[in-house]
Amino acid sequence: MKRSAVGLALLLVGTLSNQFGEAHKGITSKFTYNVEVYPIFANRCGRCHVDGGVGPMSLLKYEDAYPWAESLRTELLAASGEETPDFIRAAHRQISARELDIILDWATGGTPEGDKAQTPAPAVYSNEWSRGNPDLMIPMLQSFELTADTFERTEEFVLPVEVAQPRSVGQIDVLPGNPSIVRSVTISMRSMAGEVRTLGTWFPRQTPIPLAVRPAARLEPGSELIARIHYKKTWKFEGKAISDRSTVGLYYAD
């Protein structure tokens, strides 16, 4: 059995065990999903863990979130480990100590839903620029397909830059063509002279990132961007071909 298939099997077993285990577990948490937990998930996790997002499951509906309570507890407690993906560690850093206590108490205390009359409205995923249209949008030249038998892959794409005059770049952003599989994008700039400078790394649903270089990168006519994209499927797309055509956005500093 493939490694990914084994992981899925273990995941399903763990999820089912958690569900059946909760059936015999009394409610001890004073925090409920509808009142205390949902706002934390929406503000801290909802950019990725929403239907259509890069997360493997939505945390913005009770029926989707509670079966993962034990996994969430484990991930949050281990989120500072060196092997934890950067975007998980970044999300963990945004959660306050008080919010962490609420999630852990809810996850281990029977995962109560709360008053159904207080059920949050359904969340709608929106794939859009986080601070409005960039000054320059540079799409991949063509779509890239992650084949049915490929679960994870990192690929580099060269994006020609068309500017009539030099411009200073202050921030960069990425609009993923397929948010479900784009895990990170490292963006570099190559000048006509062949000099390559790394500008920064984007992670899903974050705000535009300041450049990693100082002084501000100078965008010259004839320059190229190099987008190194890390693709990874969730179990939802295992065994299926899925494609992406992402766009890099540049915000000028001048």
Band of the pLDDT at 189, cuts 50, 70, 90?
A: very high
Residue with tokens 């190559």: 190
Average pLDDT, rounded, for the chain:
82
Across the range 23-38, mean pLDDT stands at 85
How many residues are recorded in the chain? 254
Q: Calculate Rg over the CA atoms of the chain.
A: 21
Q: Given this model, what pLDDT does residue 21 score?
A: 44
Question: In Å, what is the CA distance from 23 to each residue of 18, 52, 61?
Answer: 9, 29, 19
Band of the pLDDT at 210, cuts 50, 70, 90?
A: low
Q: Given this model, what pLDDT does residue 37 score?
A: 95
Q: Given this model, what pLDDT does residue 96 score?
A: 87
Quick check: 250 and 218 in contact, CB under 8 A? no
- The CA distance from 84 to 187, in Å, is 22
Q: Given this model, what pLDDT does residue 5 score?
A: 39
Tell if the pTM clears 0.85, that is, is over it. no
Across the range 224-234, mean pLDDT stands at 95
- The CA distance from 84 to 67, in Å, is 21
Question: In Å, what is the CA distance from 118 to each residue of 29, 34, 58, 67, 121?
Answer: 17, 6, 19, 20, 9
Percentage with pLDDT > 90 across the chain: 48
Quick check: 74 and 18 in contact, CB under 8 A? no
Q: Given this model, what pLDDT does residue 80 score?
A: 54
Q: pLDDT per residue over 84-138, tens digit each?
A: 555 555 566 678 889 999 999 999 999 999 999 999 988 877 788 888 899 999 9
Q: Given this model, what pLDDT does residue 215 score?
A: 61
Q: Given this model, what pLDDT does residue 1 score?
A: 41
Q: Is the pLDDT of residue 254 over 90?
A: no
Top-confidence range, 47-51, 70-74, 87-91, 181-185: 181-185
Band of the pLDDT at 17, cuts 50, 70, 90?
A: very low
Structural domain boundaries in the chain: 3-118, 136-252
- The CA distance from 6 to 237, in Å, is 15
Q: Given this model, what pLDDT does residue 11 score?
A: 43
Q: Which CATH class is domain 136-252?
A: mainly beta
Q: Given this model, what pLDDT does residue 47 score?
A: 78
